[in-house]
Structure 1
Amino acid sequence: MELLLLSLALGGAWFVNKRSQLRRIHLLAGILGQFQVERLMETVADGYLRALGEKDPQRSQQVWGVLDQAEITLRDQIRSFADMVTKLDAAPTRFSTLPIAVPYAVQLFPQSSADLRALLRIHSEGVDRLVRNEAGLAQRDKAYMLTAELLLLQHSCHWFCRSKAVATARMMARHRTPHAQLVASVSEQTRQAYNRLMSA
């Protein structure tokens, strides 16, 4: 009898989690699908690898020149994406910052939750600062930091949709990059704002 009750409880928890995750996935996908953020991220990342691997300085500079416009387009797309999410109500954009998915976590542990609207604003501003290269970084350093900003944005979207554990596992599987390394590699402004929001 006890085993049956435990099975029912676990099944119920799984169902609640799954339904909540699907709701967040549909919400984010419905907005993100209106933009080309993911495609542009791939274009920029591949361009960085090509520019950094080019042995001819003149050809390398040509690639960097082409990437300038791609970065601007990506920055604008991320800004528009963040602006659209900002217009949503607070309730559906709130998500748990606990390491794993817990049923009704936002309601049970409101102090361990964050707002996707604020998080995307942090990422959008971080990408904008780097595209404008406020700090005057060398192209290699700018490419490294902007890549980290973009991957952390991707991690945040997966975290919102699923959980921190799933987002981190996906980042390790696809990019072999731990979450802590991403946070350490972004700009100081992004890191401070991100840590404040996600540990509040």
Structure 2
Amino acid sequence: MEITLTLLMVVAAWQVLRMRYQRMRIALLGRHLANLQLERHMETLTQGYTRAIQEKDGTRQVQVLQNFAQTESTVAAQVKSLADAMQKESALAAGMGTLPFCVPYAERFLPALTRDFRKLLHIHAAGLRDVVNSENRWDAKTRAYHLSAELYLFQHSCHWFCKSRAVADARLKLRHQVSHRKVLGSVSAVTRSAYLQWLREDGER
């Protein structure tokens, strides 16, 4: 009985610590997002791309996609602003665990199992800018496909930083019916190469 009670107390304490840690991460990212309108613009793009793809007429589809050019540029610029702002945070504050589940303060005690969120944001910013500026590389539909993947991966990274890798995977699947593997395979080569390199790096500061 005493062992069971002790285990229950340990689990309860762990849950409280984890929730407090995650709230801290959410607040940190939220402070940097407060003056941006990233979520609204991303929603505009993802919904707009879905509507465009449903257009049966190819000409009309291109016209719809072209209407989002300004929003695409704004999103790319704001992700760059977020990456620059997060650069002011310390390495400890920006560390994120590579394990599927959340280990509070892993960046302090298990640095080899963490990665730098600041670097990841710069990868997203560079990748988005590369796709936004790719008018002559892909047709409008293909470009929108790659941009959607870039946005999904960026959103996944933010959820990962705030919660955990497993939660980010689950939200990606629930919201967009796509796996992390599929999204990573659909972003630009610039993003994918840098992202995989970031994953391979050790977390020692």
TM-score, normalized by the shorter chain, greater than 0.5: yes
TM-score range normalised by the length of the shorter chain: over 0.9
Of all paired residues, the percent bearing the same amino acid is 41
Report what 1:83 is aligned to: 84
Show structure 1 runs of 4+ deviating over 4 A.
Answer: none
Greater share of helix? 1
Opposite residue 111 of structure 1, the aligned amino acid is A
Paired positions, count:
200
1:171 aligns with 2:156: no
Structure 2 unmatched runs, 5+? none
What is the Cα deviation at residue 127 of structure 1?
0.2
Question: How far apart, in 2, do the equivalents of 1:134 and 1:33 lie?
Answer: 31
For the pair 1:67 / 2:68, whether they are aligned, the reply is: yes
Matches within 5 A, 1:23-62: 23-62=24-63
Residues in 2 aligned to 1:57 and 1:172: alpha-carbon distance in whole angstroms: 29
Partner SS state of residue 177, structure 1? coil
Q: Compute the TM-score of the two structures, normalised by the length of structure 1.
A: 0.93
Q: CA RMSD in A?
A: 1.6
Equivalent positions of 1:2-41 (< 5 A) are: 2-41=3-42
C-alpha separation in 1, matches of 2:39 and 2:22: 20
SS across alignment from 1:89:
coil
- Preserved contact between residue 62 and residue 141 of structure 2 (Cα < 8 Å): no
* Distance in 2 (alpha carbons) for counterparts of 1:118 and 1:163: 17
- Asked if 1 retains the 8 angstrom alpha-carbon contact of 2:94 and 2:116, the reply is yes
Structure 1 residue 126 displacement after superposition: 0.3
Higher mean C-alpha displacement, 171-180 vs 103-112: 103-112
Look up the equivalent residue of 2:190 and give its one-letter code: Q
Calculate the TM-score normalised by the size of structure 2: 0.91
Q: Does 1:182 align with 2:176?
A: no
Distance 1:195 1:57, change over 3 A: closer
